[in-house]
Each structure stands twice: as structure tokens, then as C-alpha cells.
Amino acid sequence: MFQTFDVTARPEQGPPRLAALRKELAAEGLDGFLVPRADAHQGEYVAPHDERLAWLTGFTGSAGFCAVLRDIAGVFIDGRYRTQVKRQVAADYTPVPWPEVQLADWLKEQLPDGGKIGFDPWLHAAGQITALTQDLKGSGITLAQCGNLVDRIWQDQPAPPMQPVSAHPLDHAGESADEKCARLAKGLRDAGQAAAVITLPDSIMWLLNIRGSDVARNPVAHGFAILHSDARVDLFMAAGKLARLDGHFGSSVSVHAPEAFLDATAAINGSVAADSGTVPQIVADALGERMVPAGDPCALPKARKNAAEIEGSAAAHLRDGAAIAEMLAWLDAQPPGTITEIDVVKKLEALRREDPALCDISFETIAGTGENGAVMHYRVTGETDTTLQDGHLLVLDSGGQYLDGTTDITRTIAIGTPGEEERAAFTRVLQGMIAMSRLRWPKGLAGRDIECIGRMPLWLAGQDFNHGLGHGVGAYLSVHEGPQRLARTSHVPFEPGMILSNEPGYYREGAFGIRIENLLVVEQAPALDSGDPEREMLCWRTLTFAPIDRRLVNASMLTADETSWLDSYHQEVLAKIGPQLSPAAQVWLDAATAPL
């Protein structure tokens, strides 16, 4: 079981930690130091050992970084965290809207006479450093590799994780590790490359059909890998983690200590594929001119789920939907003013854990009521726990890590009697979710091409939200998985088998939040009599089945097609989920899924 640590700085702890870091800056002759939310593997989530940003600043978001200078410390956060950062960091830190304000521009403004900025080369991707160096050209500001200054002052830093690794069953993986390695090795040979360096934990897990628990809520283990063009794999992972595998690896996989990784990369003869967006700068330095900037070779194959992975995910969603329905039935029976956000979190997690196939939740459950719902990635604590009151909305975003699939679902629930403004905003969010769910599109389009479909009803009302419409999801892997996204910055074309979330929202700071989320899988669209037979089309199939709160729907705002979609969806929910429920929850679900 993953051991958790609370490494977050409380507001009063931030200033002394910042002062200690500045003493290290002076000792090193530096004018600044970069503190990313990253580890050497460049995954989205990090172990307690690597929670340097949270320990230093108090900010716990899943993306962002801090640039500590001698007289200012900027915490760079994107639109998802503008409200959250205000709550979490002390006044000694300055929130900086990012990417609207780029790091290089901010550094130039703060250091007009130039300066030296230190960074840990294990924690920054090569592409990041190359781009930053270019953007700083001519400013007199230079970047300098150095040891990690935060680690020097973090006296009770948790040890690196050393959790055991297990084999992922073939009937869930759908393809053996040897077959995957052979398939990807052929791609290397075709490209004239001797090997590929792989640093992302979920890529290594997928490639070798293993799972770990080094990172909370993510079934991954820390390590590095080199895939050779002859399909051999060098795996750099602590041997103690692999003791339970019992011969899972064949003769094509060789295990080495993680400390041997840099020397092994330096010894490769020939060109080496590496993803400049994720490979650490220190690894790129070891590869030198042999490095060929290329995407992670596992990324697209992993994203294109095979039949076994899709079947498993669909099955997991049906069981997960039953837990959600039981939760919603219980919640509806609690009078306003009698339960809190923590009560909701505990109840839902307890219901999920009744499924023996559940390995963990897939992320910390978000249960935000009233103004807490406007914090997109809100995480309830003892200090923020709020009672659900009449007229509140509750944003409930949660998921499970099941052996056969990963789930992620959001429902917004009315507590008591909702206001008309909230109902109107909810209906627009629902219209966007329905529009995306019904969409057919020509093959070759990416998230940037279709994401606006899910925003249009909000845009027409002068409203919007500061997060992407959707993200990729793994197969008993990371709940956030690339490279595909439903986002205006995503250029990766959608392909059959990809699983993504569809989650439009609306957030009124200080008042309420709304989000509705289903997971969808990309499929070939069936032919239409009116269609062009030579134009290949794609569509979505919904995986998530749980009721949407009809009390929040202003039916007069919906078109006939939108009403038909919602009624049909609810009938599927009733048919697929109803037989799994307790008698009381079945009665509740009959009413919750009644036609509008």
C-alpha cells in the first residue's frame, strides 16, 4: 500500500522555507532557482519525495512551478488554479498567470541587468531548457545546472518510493510485452534508430505489462528503460521492487540499478530516439548529438486501446456507475445542513471499495459545495470542510483504479432547491456535453479542431471555463494520459480506441461551480445513407453511465434532439446500472432517470 505524507507547506511555513532557500542561492552565487512540480521521470503526478513545489510554497496543483529570485518568488499557475493558489500560498509568493506570462519574459522584467538562474537538470525536460535558453538570448540571463537546493533544506524529506511491482494480466493487457516490444522495435529499425530512451513511468508500465504503486492513485513504478531496435529492453529499476514478478520478464529484458542509467545511455552506439518534451536535460546531455528528438514510442500505441482494454474499461465503468448511483441515492436522502464534504468523500470511497476489483481511487476525490465548487481541483481538508446547505451545488469529481480499467466521472448535484441562475448555467454545460457526445467528425481532426463544440452553448451566453474540455485516460494506468486531448492546444489526431473525458464546466468564483463529465471512446462511425462513402468518419461511444441531476436542467432551454439524447442516455443508465443496485437505490434511480 502506498504510504502518504502531508508535505504541503502551511501558509506560515512558506516564508521561513523561502528564506532558507535564498540563503542557498547566495551560497551558490545564483540569482534564482527554478522549482518545478516534476520528478526525474516527468510524469504528471509525483511521489511525496518529489513534492518540492508543495513543500516550499503550499500550492498543491498538478501543474505549475516557482521561480525563486532574491527579492521575489513567482508561482506560475494556469487557469485551473487561479482561485486555488490564492488560498494556499503566503503573501511572500506572487501568483503569476501562466502561460499568458511566459517565464522568460518575467525573468527579463525582474532581472533587467541579467543574472544566473540555477536548475536541477534531472527535473527539467530538455525541450523546456532549450526553449527557455533561446527565449533568454541577449538578455544577460543565463541558466546554470546545479544540485537541488530545495533538497538541501528539506530536512524531513520522505525517502524515494520503493513499492513492489506486479505483473498486469494478459487478459486485461490484450497483448504480451514481447509483442509490444517487437512492434515498437520495428518502428525504430524503420527509422534507422538504434534505441529509444523511455522515462515516463506509465509508458514503461504499459510496454512491459507491469504495474506499481510508487505514486499515489497511479499504478506506476519509477524507473527508466532503453528499448533497443532488436526488441531487447534494459530496465533501470531497483531490484527490490521486482521481487514479486516471478519470471514475468523473459530473456529480452535485463534489469539494472537506476544509477547505471546515464552510463548506459552514453554507451549506446547509433542514434537514439528521445522525447525532448519529457527526457531530462541531464539525459539529453549524456546522449549528445546521438539524440533524435522524437515522441515517446509508447505514447500512441498506449493511447490506442485494444479490444481487451476497451472491454475491460467498459465493464469497470458499469460497476463504477453502480457505486455512483448508490452514492447519489444516499446523498438525496440526507437533509440539507446535515452532512459535509468529507462525509460525501468517505461515503463514495467506501462504496467503491465494495468492488473487489478496485485497486485504488484514481485521484483524490473532489467534493466541493457552494463556493468551494468554483475551485476546479478543490481538495477538501479539515480546515475547508463545508456543510452542504439548501441552495448549494455540489461538484463531485471522482474515479477508480480497477484491475480492468480506470474511471473518471463528474456530476454536479443540487442540494435542496437550486437557483435559476445555477440551473441556466448547468443546462448550458449539459448542452455542451451532449453536443460533443453526439459529434461525428472526419478522421484526421485533433482536439484543437473540435473542442469548441463543447463550449459553444456557454460562449453564446458570454461564458467559458479555464480548463480543457477533456483529457486522455489510461487502461488501469494514469487517469490523465496523453498524447491526445480535447483541448485547443492539442494537435494529435484522434484514432479509434482512444479514451477521453468530455467535461465542460462553469465556475463563478465565490459562488458556485458546475462540471459534468463522461468518458468516451473513439470508434469508426457507422455509414450514413447521405454520407460520402470515401470520407472516413469517427464518433464517440459513451463508457460512463450514471444519472445527471434532472432538477438542474431547464428543459425549456433544450432542443428536441438534446432532450431525446438525455432521455435515451437515462434509459441506458437504468437498464445497465439498475440491476446492480440495492432495492432502495433502484427505486431512487427509477425516478432520477424518468424522461424530462
CATH code at 80? 3.40.350.10
* pLDDT tens for each residue of 77-104: 988 888 888 888 888 999 999 989 999 9
Query: What confidence score (pLDDT) does residue 200 get?
Result: 96
Claim to verify: residue 227 and residue 120 sit in the same structural domain: no
Bridge-based pairing state of the strands 195-198 and 272-274: parallel
Confidence grade of residue 2 (pLDDT, cut at 50, 70, 90): very low
Domain membership of residue 468 (yes or no) is yes
Count of H-run helices and E-run strands, the chain: 19, 28
Domain membership of residue 382 (yes or no) is yes
Claim to verify: residue 340 and residue 210 sit in the same structural domain: no
Interacting residues of 3 by C-beta distance below 8 A, sequence separation 6+: 48
Query: What confidence score (pLDDT) does residue 85 get?
Result: 87
The b/e string for 226-262 (b: 16+ C-beta within 10 A; e otherwise) is bbbbebebbbbbbeebbeebeebbeeebebbeeeebb
* pLDDT tens for each residue of 304-356: 999 999 999 999 999 999 999 999 999 999 999 999 999 999 999 999 999 99
* pLDDT tens for each residue of 184-232: 999 999 999 999 999 999 999 999 999 999 999 999 999 999 999 999 9
Burial class (CB in 10 A: 0-12, 13-18, 19+), 419: middle
Confidence grade of residue 568 (pLDDT, cut at 50, 70, 90): very high
Query: What confidence score (pLDDT) does residue 6 get?
Result: 66
Mean pLDDT of 268-294: 95
Domain membership of residue 596 (yes or no) is no
Weakest mean pLDDT among 81-85, 384-388, 478-482, 492-496: 81-85
Query: What confidence score (pLDDT) does residue 1 get?
Result: 38
Work out the percent of the chain whose per-residue pLDDT is above 90. 90
* pLDDT tens for each residue of 232-241: 999 999 999 9
Claim to verify: residue 125 and residue 263 sit in the same structural domain: no
**Cell numbers at residue 388, please?**
452542504
* Domain endpoint, select from 302, 317, 337: 302
Domain membership of residue 9 (yes or no) is no
Claim to verify: residue 74 and residue 203 sit in the same structural domain: no
Round the average pLDDT of the chain to a whole number and report it: 95
* pLDDT tens for each residue of 412-471: 999 999 999 999 999 999 999 999 999 999 999 999 999 999 999 999 999 999 999 999
Q: Rounded to an integer, what distance in angstroms lies between the CA atom of residue 223 and that of residue 232?
A: 16
Total tally of structural domains belonging to the chain: 3
* pLDDT tens for each residue of 99-153: 899 999 999 999 999 999 999 999 999 999 999 999 999 999 999 999 999 999 9
Query: What confidence score (pLDDT) does residue 73 get?
Result: 94
Domain membership of residue 209 (yes or no) is yes
Q: Rounded to an integer, what distance in angstroms lies between the CA atom of residue 184 and that of residue 204?
A: 13
Domain membership of residue 515 (yes or no) is yes
DSSP letter (8 states) at residue 337? T
Mean pLDDT of 353-371: 96
Claim to verify: residue 526 and residue 390 sit in the same structural domain: yes
Cβ atoms within 10 Å of 536's Cβ, excluding its own: 11
* Domain endpoint, select from 253, 268, 302: 302
Sheet holding 94-97, edge to edge: 94-97, 73-77, 65-69, 32-36, 115-119, 141-145
Q: Which element (helix H / strand E) includes 523?
A: strand 518-524
Claim to verify: residue 347 and residue 273 sit in the same structural domain: no
Claim to verify: residue 342 and residue 380 sit in the same structural domain: yes
Mean pLDDT of 562-572: 98
Claim to verify: residue 539 and residue 582 sit in the same structural domain: yes
Q: Rounded to an integer, what distance in angstroms lies between the CA atom of residue 255 and that of residue 220?
A: 17
Domain membership of residue 7 (yes or no) is no
Claim to verify: residue 535 and residue 549 sit in the same structural domain: yes
DSSP assignments along 70-121, one per residue: SS-EEEEE-GGGHHHHHHHS-TTSEEEETTTS-HHHHHHHH-TT-EEEEE-T
- Please tell me the pTM assigned to this model: 0.93
Mean pLDDT of 488-499: 97
Q: Is the pLDDT of residue 4 over 60?
A: no
Domain membership of residue 2 (yes or no) is no
Claim to verify: residue 22 and residue 119 sit in the same structural domain: yes
Domain, as residue range, for 549: 304-591
Claim to verify: residue 246 and residue 335 sit in the same structural domain: no
CATH code at 332? 3.90.230.10
Claim to verify: residue 318 and residue 446 sit in the same structural domain: yes
Give the three-class secondary structure for 370: helix
Query: What confidence score (pLDDT) does residue 3 get?
Result: 45
* Domain endpoint, select from 237, 270, 302: 302
Query: What confidence score (pLDDT) does residue 5 get?
Result: 57
